[in-house]
Structure 1
Amino acid sequence: MATMNVSLPDELKEFVEAQVEEHGYVSSSEFLRELIRREKDRTKLQGMLVEGMESGVGSELDAAYFDGLRDHIRNSGAA
């Protein structure tokens, strides 16, 4: 595992320490890794949303669409 040193103003350092204490993280490093993972997931989701918006007009999300989706799930054996 690589090491990275981060300088924080006292106010942010105190916030990190409080979050570690409050949420039961083992260390500030664990807390920061979790924040980075969340940001990575958020960035990926944002990219997927943009890709979807740029892909063109989608299906109309009406009752028939959801009925078909339910049928597909039932018939696939996933349910």
Structure 2
Amino acid sequence: MATMNISLPDQMKAWVEAQTDGGRYSNSSDYVRDLIRREQIKAEKIANMQRLIDEAYASGISDQTPREIFEDIRAEYLAETTRKAG
């Protein structure tokens, strides 16, 4: 495992130390690693949502009414449910 030294203002250092005092993290490195993991997951979720938005824009505008779209989705859902049950 690589080592990285970081500088924090006193207030931030105190915050990190307070998080480790609660027992959830064994030391400040564990806490920082958890923050980084959470940020990685968040970034992946945002990238996935952006991909879905881009796909939606690329698919164009539907000429169906909202009711027609809902009915199509409902029919697909019911067909899938019936297929799985059968």
Q: TM-score, normalised by structure 2?
A: 0.69
The one-letter code sitting in structure 2 at the alignment partner of 1:5 is N
Q: Distance in 2 between matches of 1:71 and 1:62?
A: 16
User: What secondary structure is seen at the aligned counterpart in 2 of 1:56?
Assistant: helix
Residue 65 (1) aligns with residue 65 (2) = no
CA RMSD of aligned residues (A): 3.0
Aligned-residue identity in percent: 34
Superposed structure 1 runs of 4+ greater than 4 Å apart: 60-64
Q: TM-score, normalised by structure 1?
A: 0.74
Gaps of at least 5 residues in structure 2 are: 60-65
Residue aligning to 1:7: 7
**Larger Rg over CA atoms:** 2
Gaps of at least 5 residues in structure 1 are: none
Bigger helix share:
2
Count, aligned residues: 74
